[in-house]
Amino acid sequence: MNLKQSLILAVAITLIATASWELYWRSKGFHPTVNDEKALWALARKKVETGSKSDVVILGASRAYFDIQVDKWREDTGQEPIQLASTGSSPLPTFHDIVNNTNFSGTVVIGVTPGLFFSTTFPGASPWKRAQSKVEYYEDETYAQKLNFQLSIPLQENLVFMSADEEEWSDDIDLKSLLRNVSIGHRTSDPKMPPFYNFGDVSIPRNISMMPKTVKDTAFANSIIKVWHFFGKGAPPPDKASTMAFFLEDLKKFKARKGTVILVRCPSSGGVRMGEKMGLPREEFWDELVKKAQVKSYHFEDYDQLKNLSCPEESHLSLEDANYFTSEIIKIMKADNALTNL
């Protein structure tokens, strides 16, 4: 067999193997989605540098990411928001970055997930580190990394087996994740933690929506609920004093340059909401934050059209309800003259 024949055979085997692997995962109900990686976040963060007074930046954890839909916001306001919310993260490092490293003076909508907003200011803690690592990636991103990301997008949008997440505890189907979950001796993650499957579809511009499977498949939704309960039971006590002080200092600076901040409490339900009421009662956390911040603030339980929204996995809205929530919260804000710059 000559070199040309060997090359043709190698290419044929590679294509067959790739197609087989792709079809296998599609048969399991998976579909292509863009990876929620630091490079995607950095692409959105760059827009803040040239943001105008009329621009809106969205910060927060995964609720602000899932529940405030970029396309719906653009449809209802005529302007696309800059989505910088980050899953499992405190919004404080990102707000600090915007206040201290940019001249942005538009509107910042901050989703307040109590367990994460009031979690910590310790640099090594996960809620802080997860957001800060994105800020640092943006600051240090190389041209090679930017090019690699741009070239990977067509593959991510069309191939299921490219689906991956940067979190070490997620059960994704890329090779790195599959190898990480192979049980060899003690080479396993915490056996007490339930499996954590991806349940969001990511798209460009940076946006995430709940996978239909999470709404339709109760067993799958329950697997996510078990993870939230696991995290809730193992969470350290909130550090209200330091997080409040850190945020209020940055808020003071942002107000001084005529920037606008809006606080939003997105829906939660079921056992997650019960846990929040016990561990982070509204009166001691949200209400005190609103009182000290002196900014426009909206809690879903204060509005008849929002208070009965139910989260399929107790912490995030389905795409249908997220579009509804986005549209309604915009109406509420406009009626309250909170979005005067749009």
Do 62 and 201 lie in a common domain? yes
Q: What was the pLDDT predicted at 15?
A: 61
312 Cβ partners below 8 Å, 6+ apart? 210, 214, 215, 221, 318
Res. 186 pLDDT band, cuts 50 70 90: very low
Q: Which two tokens stand for residue 301?
A: 């339980």
How much is the mean pLDDT over the chain? 87
Please name the residues in contact with 258: beta carbons below 8 A apart, sequence gap of 6 or more: 105
Helix (H) or strand (E) holding 202: strand 200-203
Does residue 2 sit in the same domain as residue 72? no
- Residues 20 and 36 reside in one and the same domain: no
Instruction: State whether 25 and 59 are in the same domain.
Output: no
- Give domain status of residue 182, yes or no: yes
pLDDT by residue (tens digit) across 122-174? Answer: 999 999 999 999 999 999 999 888 887 777 666 555 555 556 665 554 455 44
Domain total of the chain: 2
Does 118 lie in the same domain as 199?
Answer: yes
Q: For 331, phi and psi rounded to 5 degrees?
A: -60, -45
| Long-range Cβ contacts of 96-99 (<8 Å, 24+ apart) | 96/246, 96/250, 97/135, 98/48, 98/57, 98/254, 99/250, 99/253, 99/254, 99/259
Sequence letter at residue 23: L
Q: pTM of whole model > 0.75?
A: yes
Residue 311 has pLDDT above 90, yes or no: yes
- State whether residue 57 is helix, strand or coil: strand
Q: Please list, residue by residue across 195-216, b when 16 or more beta carbons sit within 10 angstroms of its beta carbon and e when fewer do.
A: ebbbbbbbeeebbbbbbeebbe
Question: Is residue 310 included in any domain, yes or no?
Answer: yes
Residue-level pLDDT at 82? 98
Residue 155 in domain: yes
Does 342 fall in a domain? no
Measured CA to CA, the distance from residue 185 to residue 201 in angstroms comes to: 34
213-236 tens-digit pLDDT = 999 999 999 999 999 999 999 889
If asked whether residues 254 and 291 sit together in one domain, one would say yes
**Is there a contact between 105 and 56 (Cβ–Cβ < 8 Å)?**
no
Q: Which residue range forms the structural domain that includes residue 2?
A: 1-30
Confidence at 20, pLDDT banded by 50, 70, 90:
low
Once rounded to an integer, what is the mean pLDDT over residues 10-22? Answer: 60
Same domain, 103 and 189: yes
Co-location of 289 and 322 in the same domain:
yes
Task: Indicate if 25 and 69 belong to the same structural domain.
Answer: no
Q: At what angle do helices 38-49 and 143-158 cross, to 10 degrees?
A: 120
pLDDT of residue 151: 75
Domain co-membership, 117 together with 143: yes
